Chains A and B, each alone.
Chain A
Amino acid sequence: MSKMNDILLSSAEKQTLTEKIENKMKSNGYDALLVFGSSNITYLSGGIVFPYLDQKVVQPVALYICYKTGKRIIVCTNDLADIPKQLNWNGEVVIYNLNEQTPEASIAEVLKNYISSKVAIDENYMTAAQIKALKKSISGLVTVSGDQVFDDLKLLKTDAEIRLLEIACRMGDRGFISALNHSEGAALDALSYPLWEYAERFRVHVGEYGGSCVGNMVVVQGKDCKELYARCEPRAVLNETGFVRLEYSLHNSGYWITGSRTVYLGQTNEQAERAWKNNQTLKNIALKNLRTGVKSSEVYNAVKRSSEELNIPFWEGIDLGHGVGTREREAPFLAHYDDTLITEGMVIVLGVYTYGNDKELICNKDVYVVTNDVPRLLNWYKNWDDLYILYGTSARHG
């Protein structure tokens, strides 16, 4: 099998990751953990993914691990119980029924049979209602926040995690290219091409190339391109010459990346080309400064200085990038406020929002793994240094 089709963590890779986690937890004095956040469940379990947990389309799931006893339990409702088995979970699965007034109380009533000692919990995810239910069910429950340790662990990826993220990048780029290929046959002809279909073609092709799920999916053109997001009207079509931007996120087996790709609809012009070149200039300055031992804020500050020197304004409403992993947005943040040291093994999505001639926000994000040399590009599938022209008038070919 091609390594790019090997989309799951192997047993050995899971072992490496879970040992790393266990060592860190023990060194911080934590004997047990109990988490409810989807990102933490996937990370701390070594790759178990549940559907739509953040959006609450399914009932809550808990992961409990006790390093003293070796107990590893996933607690979920009956409909989800087959998922851990499908993903080769090596712990127990305990089913809870909705026997109490709320799902939170129902899961707490089951967890009380397993939790006795102090546990590290994810206070950034676990709801106040959930902890209230747990404290009611488990007398003497002692909890401490494990969030900082979980976040610290996630900062540096194992080789296997980097591999999964690299595969996600390839899925994303292939999905995006497919969206372009579908739309450029009809973008400018009388048939036109729906804006939703441009985004949807991205989504379905990510699936066809092996992706697990697409998250964010915003497509903007014309004056809407001046904003980060805008609503896609159901009947809108690609019909405004100028920049078109797609914001997206997707995951491969629980490992998320985010992206932003801008193309130009119709015949380009000198101003558009210059705007694109300016964008690349600032992005390359950020990339040049993305080196081990440098503070995250210094990457941002270097871009800001260059922006002033070169008179290339950029949108300062958001960071220039952030980590990715089992969440689509995690530390470090390439922003003025984050002094985290850039370190080998971090995986960071990088992109600068600069302006087109009509103040459109243009951006081209790529994902890099930090090495002790230059960062290694994980979005290597296609080079996006040149402005991509979306242009086509042929009859629709399917």
Chain B
Amino acid sequence: MNNLEQEITKKITTIIDVNHLDVLIISDIYNIQYATNIKIPCAHAQSDLRMFALLKKNNNPIVVVPKCWENFVKESNHNVDVFAYSLQHDQLASAIKMVFKKCSSAKRFGSDDELISIKISEMIKKEIAALGSEHIACADDIMGARSTKTKTEIKHLKSIAMKTDHAINGYYHHLIADRSKSSMSISENLRIHSLERDIYLEGYNACSRGVIGNSISNIWSYAPKFGFAASDFTEIGDTIIADAMNNENGYWSNSTRIAIMSEEMSDEQEIAYRHLVELRKILCNSLRVGLRCCEVYQDVVEKATNLGIEIIDGHALGFNVGVSPMEGPFLSLGDQTILKKNMILILDGLVKYKSLFYRSRDTVLLDIDEVKVINDYKSWEEPYFALNTI
């Protein structure tokens, strides 16, 4: 086992011990990746094909997959025991049958079934009941484990966060104010510049997109072309808001940065960007290990309001990142989760100014007495300014 696998195994073992489990059944795709390092590229989209992981103390993880994914999974991790089910009329029934065949003697079953479909959850509970065994809900335990990062996870997340910022900056370097760019071209080039830095090839949620000019009046402009943006062209002085989500070693970055198609900002852009910088400062000053997410949220909202910063009502000011690009806890009014050391949060700076939305997302590592921004390839005290011409 490599360092990451050892660290995660230790965390999973703690969950098993604390709950006195004989076996932990994991069904959520992200949780499976977390616990076993196995990731099927299309698993979220081809959800009739189901994968499960069974974890027992001091045993290799068991992974149950459809036959068509068997070899890929075996190649992905040699430290798991893989069992494949043939595709039948009811794939789910075939999978569940195989899962319980592998743990039929267990008396206490942990499960993360709250995170998956009602249908699967009910099937799992029914099988456990049929065995006369006990069902222990463990979704919160696993999400809790995921929310504080291990040493290797921090290393991976720092790397991908910084690479993404580098990639965004690497693309922005090509901007020249008097040479118009389409939002589509920005989207493509953000991804290309990311891939050039050895990030992993990803489809689906490997979002990269550039929203420009007055189109930033919608947060998700250019529907339904979220994957590519559209044929909207920059003009001199336009704001560009670039989103990029990248994956490396199974861990995600989730970043947004602003460029201006000029060597200086307009008065409106100055104010809006200053609000973003101030919001970042307020957030970093408010985040403290031991505080609840909702307390940070309320504190930030109050301070931002006092400074005349218009933030979006009810919008979370941040969230966790890890094996998925967005996960709890959320810096929101309702989330009571206590902030802990080694959480890595995306601070979702989003402000409205004169009907336009400006966004800049920082990634921060939470330590006992420090909030460290880990995606600052350059200082974002100012946006990226394009050259006026060459």
Write the residues of chain A forming the contact surface with B, with a CB cutoff of 8 angstroms: 8, 49, 51-52, 54-59, 77-80, 82-83, 86-87, 95-103, 105-106, 121, 123-129, 131-132, 145, 147, 194-197, 199-200, 203-204, 206-208, 211-219, 226-232, 234-235, 248-249, 253-254, 256, 317-319, 327-330, 333, 335, 337-338
Contacts and interface: CB of A to CB of B under 8 A. Distances in A.
B207 A52 contact: yes
Contacts of A214: 203-204, 227
B129 interface: no
Nearest to B225: A212
B114 A128 contact: yes
B211 to A, nearest CB: 12
B326 A57 contact: yes
Contacts of A213: 204, 224-228
B195 A200 contact: yes
A227 B188 CA distance: 29
Nearest to B227: A213
B191 A78 contact: no
B87 A319 contact: yes
Given A99-B314, A254-B224, A228 B68 contact: yes
Contact of A80 (B220, B227, B228, B332): B220
Interface of B: 30, 40-42, 44-49, 67-72, 75-76, 87-89, 113-119, 121-122, 139, 184, 187-188, 191-192, 195, 198-205, 207, 218-229, 245, 254, 312-316, 324-328, 330, 332-336, 350
Contacts of A77: 314-315
A137 B14 CA distance: 33
A318 B115 CA distance: 27
Contacts of B44: 54-55
A253 B204 contact: no
Contacts of A333: 87
A317 B68 CA distance: 5
Contacts of B45: 54, 215-216, 249, 256, 327-329
A227 B336 contact: no
B305 to A, nearest CB: 16
Contact of B312 (A79, A124, A219): A79
24 contacts: A49-B224, A55-B324, A56-B326, A80-B220, A82-B223, A83-B223, A86-B218, A97-B314, A98-B316, A103-B328, A124-B117, A127-B117, A196-B195, A207-B184, A208-B228, A212-B228, A213-B228, A216-B41, A228-B71, A229-B40, A230-B75, A249-B45, A254-B224, A317-B68
Contact of B220 (A51, A105, A235): A51
A86 B222 CA distance: 8
A316 B95 CA distance: 18
Contact of A216 (B76, B204, B207, B333): B204
Contacts of A208: 184, 188, 228
Nearest to B229: A207
Contact of A217 (B47, B117, B188, B201): B201
A162 B299 CA distance: 52
Nearest to A104: B114
A78 B332 CA distance: 13
A234 B316 contact: no
B226 A55 contact: no
Contact of A55 (B67, B200, B205, B334): B205
A83 B224 CA distance: 8
Contacts of B67: 317-318
B195 A79 contact: no
B91 to A, nearest CB: 9
Given A207-B227, A212-B225, A328-B46, 6 more contacts: A56-B326, A86-B221, A215-B42, A254-B224, A256-B45, A318-B67
A176 to B, nearest CB: 14
A59 B139 CA distance: 18
Given A78-B315, A212-B225, A232-B200, A99 B333 contact: yes
A102 B328 contact: yes
A380 B192 CA distance: 30
The 10 closest A-B pairs by CB, nearest first: A97-B314, A213-B227, A207-B228, A98-B332, A51-B226, A217-B203, A128-B121, A55-B205, A49-B224, A234-B198
Most A CB contacts (10 A, CB to CB) among B40, B116, B207, B225 go to B225
